[in-house]
């Protein structure tokens, strides 16, 4: 079963906890890279940790959560080889995987969701990259940019 690295700041801690429980119940191998409680902390630390592990371990995925999802997704996208999609819907999770080849999913615990976060997670982990030439070409261009 695929391994999933998780990370959040205090603003995403509770949603990360729910996602972790769900993934364990589905049989995924998981590793929570922090934070460990709701004390105030810094999202770039955790976005970076998760993205670095995903890049080091091909075939794994990452899920990162902060209050808005924005800060931690920016952090994850700065790590070479990490491609993070910020999604509040199943549609964005699917497109982020199939077109863009995202290997990290970001969500914002304090934001409005179009679909339930667990459904977004399931879609992100299920969908494969679209092998169509035009999507491969665009993903290769992203690789040239560093991610």
Residue number, 66 or 139, with CB nearest to ligand RB5: 66
Residue whose tokens read 């914002």: 108
Q: Tell me the number of residues near ligand RB5 by CB under 6 A.
A: 8
Give the shortest CB-120-to-ligand RB5 separation in angstroms.
17
Give the shortest CB-81-to-ligand RB5 separation in angstroms.
22
Residue number, 45 or 70, with CB nearest to ligand RB5: 70
Each residue 41-80 as x (binds ligand RB5 by CB under 6 A) or -, in order, gives --x----------------------xxx-xx---------
- Based on the shown chain and the rule CB under 6 A, indicate whether residue 9 belongs to the binding site for ligand RB5: yes
56 CB contacts (<8 Å, ≥6 apart)? Answer: none
Give the shortest CB-44-to-ligand RB5 separation in angstroms.
9
* Dihedral angle computed from the Cα positions of residues 26, 113, 82 and 75, in that order, rounded to the nearest 10 degrees: -120
| Ramachandran assignment for 19, one of left (phi > 0), alpha (psi -120 to 50 degrees), beta (any other) | alpha
Catalytic residues: 66, 99
Residue number, 8 or 100, with CB nearest to ligand RB5: 8
- What is the residue-wise DSSP string for 101-144? ---EEEEETTS--SS-HHHHHHHHHHPPPP--HHHHHHHHHHHH
Q: Which of 21, 36, 29 is nearest to 3 (CA)?
A: 29
Binding residues vs ligand RB5 (CB under 6 A) = 9, 11, 43, 66-68, 70-71
């Amino acid at each position: 079963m695929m391994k999933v690295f998780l990370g959040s700041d205090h603003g995403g801690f509770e949603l990360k906890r729910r996602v972790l429980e769900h993934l364990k119940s589905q049989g995924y191998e998981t590793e929570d890279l922090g934070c460990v409680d709701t004390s105030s902390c810094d999202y770039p630390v955790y976005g970076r940790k998760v993205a670095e592990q995903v890049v080091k371990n091909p075939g794994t995925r990452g899920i990162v959560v902060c209050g808005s999802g924005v800060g931690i997704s920016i952090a994850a996208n700065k790590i070479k080889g990490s491609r993070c999609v910020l999604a509040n819907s199943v549609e964005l999770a699917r497109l982020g995987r199939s077109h863009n080849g995202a290997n990290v999913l970001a969500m914002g615990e304090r934001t409005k969701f179009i679909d339930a976060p667990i459904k977004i997670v399931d879609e992100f982990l299920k969908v494969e990259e679209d092998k169509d030439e035009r999507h491969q070409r665009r993903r290769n261009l992203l690789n040239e940019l560093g991610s």
